[in-house]
Structure 1
Amino acid sequence: MTAQPPVPDNPDETADQQPATSGRSFDEVQAGERAMLRRAMRSTLLLVGALVVLGCAVGALVAGLPGVWGALVGAGLAAFFCGTTVWSMQRTVGKPPTVMAGVVMGAWLAKIVVLVVVLAVLRGADFYDPYVLFVVLAIGAIGSALLDYQAVKGARIPYVQT
């Protein structure tokens, strides 16, 4: 049999206290969120490093120097896209949800603008292989999503407030 928490005689006694978050303080929850986001950023940077090394090697074998350039451009775009998401979340830990939503949406719009500009600049250029760029970018996006999932799954952050 488990002990029930005492019920206060006056319900207003607990009105000015922060809601309990599975027995953890608000600062502990924020620390857990920051640790999870640091892990996600570290994993993303390692993924981008692997994309540069492996993408350049495979790109060189498949398409020569244009394959190397395609891998470098793809890895750069992947780093920008994936890093921006984690960075915007790191900047909004502990902020109200509307602030977080605004920052994340602003970052998403910035990503779209950068993608359009990069594609416009690269249009018609022949120094890179577009297929290698696409494959490296796709692997970066999918890999980053999986690594972010792993970071969130492994975090000890309650998602229900009682």
Structure 2
Amino acid sequence: MTEQNATPGTPDDPAEESAGRSFEEVQSSERTMLRRALRSTLLLVGALVVLGGLVGWFVAGAAGVWGALVGAGLAAFFCATTIWSMLRTVGKSPTAMAAGVMGAWLAKIVVLLVVLVLLRGADFYDPYVLFVVLALGAVGSALLDYQAVRGARMPYVQP
């Protein structure tokens, strides 16, 4: 038999901790977790602007800086839109949440296509710097979202 590390009734036991929580308290925990994810994502984007701009300058000059700025802007829009749409639909029906997240996804695709069409013939930016900054933003945001969810202490089922 395996031995449990947490004793019932201690804060280390999430089932016991959430057993007496109301639906409003669970919603508050979800909102807090999503706000933490949004805040850390925006900090990541700020770091991408600064570091991507510096590296872009050394790699490709002014075009590298513009590539970093466009990549960081797209990363901010992509990552923050998902979190924002989930914040707007916390506590609503699963159908409303799915519609909100799907609508945000469609908006992201439209914005990406418009930006790519507008940038197609432009030479003021470095496409490689843009790609690297955008990729780092996407991966970094996913890791930060995971960290926020992992530390949220939310129940798996509704009490």
| TM-score when normalising by structure 1 | 0.86
- Decide which of 15, 21, 36 is 1:24's aligned counterpart: 21
8 Å contact kept, 1:84–1:107 = yes
- Corresponding residue for residue 35 of structure 2: 38
For residues 93 and 159 of structure 1, what CA distance do their matches in structure 2 show?
15
- 1:67 is aligned to 2:95: no
> Is 1:131 the counterpart of 2:146 in the alignment?
no
Match of 1:109 in 2: 106
**Number of the residue aligned with 2:90:** 93
CA distance in 2: counterparts of 1:39 and 1:48, whole angstroms: 14
* CA RMSD, 1 decimal: 1.1
For 1:73 and 1:131, locate their aligned partners in 2 and report how far apart those are by CA, in whole Å.
11
- Alpha-carbon distance in structure 2 between the residues aligned to 1:161 and 1:86: 21
In the TM superposition, residue 23 of structure 1 has moved relative to its aligned partner by 2.1
Q: Which amino acid aligns with 1:135?
A: V
1:16 counterpart residue number? none
Q: What are the ranges of 5 or more consecutive residues in structure 2 without an aligned counterpart? A: 1-7, 9-17
Partner of 1:145 in structure 2? 142
Is the Cα–Cα contact under 8 Å of residues 53 and 65 in structure 2 kept in the other structure? yes
Task: List structure 1 runs of 4+ shifted beyond 3 angstroms.
Answer: none
SS in 2 for 1:103: helix
Q: How does 1:45-64 map to 2 (within 5 A)?
A: 45-64=42-61
List alignment gaps of at least 5 residues for structure 1: 3-20
Displacement, 1:121? 0.2
The percentage of aligned residue pairs carrying the same residue is 80
After superposition, the C-alpha distances for 1:27-60 in whole angstroms (9 at most, x for unaligned) are 1100100000010000001000000000000000
Q: Is the 8 A contact 1:22 1:161 kept in 2?
A: no
- Considering only CA atoms, is the larger Rg found in Structure 1 or Structure 2? 1
Q: CA deviation at 1:161?
A: 3.4
Aligned counterparts of 2:19 and 2:153: Cα–Cα separation in 1: 11
